Amino acid sequence: MPAPIFTVMGAAAALAVVAGVLLDQVAARRGLRRVATPTGGAAADPVDTAAAGLLRGPHRPTASLPLPDRVRLGVRDRWRRPSASTALFAACFGLYVGLGALLVLRYGAIVGDAQSRVADGYYVFFSRDPHLAAIGFVWNPLPSMAAWPFFPFKGLWPALTQQAFAGNIVSAAFMAGTIVTLRGCLRDIGAGRTLTMVLVLSVALNPMVVYYGANGMSEAAYLFFLILAVRHLMRWTTTRALTPLVWTGVALGLGYLARYETIAATCAATAVVFALSFRAAGGERKQRILAGVAEAVVVAIPALAAFAAWSLISEVITGSAFQQFTSIYGNSSQIAISGAGLVGHQSGWPLPVYAGLQLLAFGVGAPIVVLLGLLVAKRQHDGRLVAAVAVIGTCVAFSYGIFVSGRAFGWLRFYLPVTLLVSLCLALMVGAAGRPRLAGGPRRSTGAATVVAILVAVSALPTTAWAMFDRRLGAGEKPQLTWVLHGVHTPGQRADQRLFPSARAIAADLDRRLLPDGAVVIDTFSPCASMILMTSSRPHQFVITSDRDFERTLADPSRFGAAYLMAPPTGGYGDLDAVNRAYPDLYRDGTGVGRLIHQYAQVGCPAFRLYRVAAAKP
């Protein structure tokens, strides 16, 4: 079950700390304790030294004041205006959740994948067979679990579940957290106020960031844990303290529970920690390897614990450790069904070119910025940029590679982390441009470098917007947004607009029949099916895919009390539907299985047919 994962991760984090301390002590006894400058070997920059001091612990200048003065100062500070980070979070959250409300509640633009993630969390509590494993194992559990706190309020505000608006709130919170954490990274780097403000706004207002902060998808959680891991890993390269390393591992572990791509970032972060520790350690090669392992294991354990726990639980419950690849509902099956219609394959461009254009949409100069940043990092002996490029760049490269190899859809959203990486590279390069050539020399002006960085960052806004509304590059965004902005003009746009009303109409018809519990067998994988369940006032009338007796009830409905089978049209995703797979001829004529009771011709949903099982009582 998913719940023990967090217990396992907590124990893994504690184990990481203990293991790291023990191995570090072993290294210290063998004379391997490092005496390193904050940047890993270069002369310490005053700004970096100050930042490192702040990272070691909070500064308390009031300690020397008399007790009454300290108390009065503390009370006054407690009621000061909100900090810049708090204000930034509130502003971003308000923007994203407001746009989400506009899309979902005003226009009915509900993203299918986002709705499915909320539905997976819903089944755990409100299905006919509530249990933790109902959350499913095809997709990562964290986005669904993050929606749980909103479910108790569905009676006061039904849209939280019926229109999956709980997912929009979750994505808005995670994306706002991403922006605040990015600002923290830039402050740790020592970027100037103007540059920090421009870089933060260029990411926060990027059209793709705004849209995926508002639409309830898992990209927001993915970006949040990615930038959180980068921030702590960058802190570790500066301070070489144990705590940032532990937080890096925990962030990557939680990130894996949000998106599978994070496992690539974990491997990269572990390699970076080992390499930098090995390089900074003294002594013989064997002793340097021990020093590298001592710190690499700290960052790897929490993430590997999440990976192992989720895989083991999936194996025990479903019989497969990697449902995303082996399940009939997984990514591999969906790609096989799509065939030549796979997103990106009909663009007219070779796949590497297609993916490259999507990547460049987030910054035409992104590859150049990253390469220049690595050159600067090498020259300055600065491990911070290496850490950022390793963690974020590896995820981008992973997404690029699996698409080019034909094992993924060509979604533009896979390259969202590029926005974070470009911002960090620009800030680090501007900081390097302002350092003196010689230790103790005068600092150089960063005015020209700041202007160039601002131009590069701002230029990504129009290019991203262009890609989103290009029918080839923005295949996942253009269909949803075009009709919202320009009105309904095609049958497909009308179907998108009518998704929720159609599901509600089907659910209302079934509710009026006053069917007993477990009367209707339906596969919730089919489009619209999960929304029918969540809008129904009688959800227990359905036997759904996550129910533990689903397979036996589907195999023999009459014996186990089910009176109806509900099937979508065959072809495409309809061929993956469990009812159609069990009864291939059911949708055509129902011969030998049951009698057609009703066909739902609701725009936006598949043309479901409701059959009464032949041997079942009405």
pLDDT tens digit string along 491-527? Answer: 888 988 999 999 999 999 999 999 999 999 999 998 8
- 21: number of Cβ within 10 Å: 13
Give the contacts of 461 (CB within 8 A, at least 6 positions apart): 202, 205, 206, 207
pLDDT over 80 at 535, yes or no = yes
pLDDT value of position 590: 85
pLDDT value of position 114: 95
Q: How far apart are CA 564 and CA 521, in angstroms?
A: 6
Q: How far apart are CA 136 and CA 117, in angstroms?
A: 10
Structure confidence by residue, pLDDT tens digits, 272-281:
999 999 998 8
| Contact status, residue 252 vs residue 270, Cβ threshold 8 Å | no
Cα distances (angstroms) measured from residue 558 to each of 120, 274, 616? 27, 61, 5
Backbone angles phi, psi at 34, to 5 degrees: -85, 150
Query: What's the rounded mean pLDDT across residues 399-417?
Result: 92
Question: pLDDT-derived band of residue 65, with 50, 70 and 90 as boundaries?
Answer: very low
Which amino acid is residue 183, in one-letter code? R
Question: pLDDT-derived band of residue 311, with 50, 70 and 90 as boundaries?
Answer: very high
pLDDT value of position 614: 84
Query: What's the rounded mean pLDDT across residues 214-223?
Result: 97
Question: pLDDT-derived band of residue 303, with 50, 70 and 90 as boundaries?
Answer: very high
Q: Bridge-partner residues for 520, per DSSP?
A: 542, 564
Q: Bridge-partner residues for 599, per DSSP?
A: 609
Q: How far apart are CA 220 and CA 214, in angstroms?
A: 9
**Which has the higher per-residue pLDDT, 425 or 440?**
425
pLDDT over 70 at 44, yes or no = no
Listed in order, strand segments (DSSP E) in 492-600 are: 520-521, 542-543, 564-567, 594-599
Question: pLDDT-derived band of residue 8, with 50, 70 and 90 as boundaries?
Answer: very low
Calculate the CA dihedral of residues 468, 471, 474, 479 and round it to 10 degrees.
90
Q: How far apart are CA 201 and CA 215, in angstroms?
A: 20
Encode 387-405: b = buried (16+ Cβ within 10 Å), e = exposed.
bbbbbbbbbbebbbebbbe
Lowest mean pLDDT among 266-275, 279-288, 331-340, 414-423: 331-340
Structure confidence by residue, pLDDT tens digits, 537-565:
999 999 999 999 999 999 999 999 999 99
The whole-chain average pLDDT of the chain stands at 86
| Contact status, residue 460 vs residue 404, Cβ threshold 8 Å | no
Query: What's the rounded mean pLDDT across residues 287-296?
Result: 93
Q: How far apart are CA 550 and CA 533, in angstroms?
A: 15
Percent of the chain clearing pLDDT 90 (strictly above): 65
Lowest mean pLDDT among 60-69, 242-251, 482-491, 579-588: 60-69
**Spatial CA neighbour of 237 closest among 268, 199, 267, 280:** 280
pLDDT value of position 615: 72
3-state helix, strand, coil in the chain (%, to 5): 65, 5, 30
pLDDT value of position 278: 93
241: left (phi over 0), alpha (psi -120 to 50) or beta: beta
Q: Return the DSSP state at 444.
A: P
Laid out side by side, the sheet with 542-543 consists of: 542-543, 520-521, 564-567, 609-613, 594-599
Taking the alpha carbons of 91, 96, 102, 104 in that order, is the dihedral positive or negative?
Answer: negative
Q: What is the 3-state secondary structure (H, E, C) of 332-396?
A: HHHHHHHHHHCCCCCCCCCHHHHHHHHHHCCCCCHHHHHHHHHHHHHHHCCHHHHHHHHHHHHHH
pLDDT over 50 at 59, yes or no = no
Q: How far apart are CA 266 and CA 253, in angstroms?
A: 8
Question: pLDDT-derived band of residue 62, with 50, 70 and 90 as boundaries?
Answer: very low
- Distance spanning both ends of the chain, measured CA to CA: 37
Query: What's the rounded mean pLDDT across residues 248-256?
Result: 97
Q: Return the DSSP state at 44.
A: P
* Tokens at 29, concatenated: 């006894």
pLDDT value of position 364: 87
**Spatial CA neighbour of 425 closest among 463, 467, 371:** 371
pLDDT value of position 345: 67
Structure confidence by residue, pLDDT tens digits, 15-33:
554 455 444 554 455 544 4
Helix locations, 205-284, DSSP H: 207-214, 219-239, 242-256, 262-280
| Contact status, residue 226 vs residue 417, Cβ threshold 8 Å | yes
**CA-based max dimension of the chain:** 91
The residue with tokens 């967090």 is: 6
Question: pLDDT-derived band of residue 376, with 50, 70 and 90 as boundaries?
Answer: confident
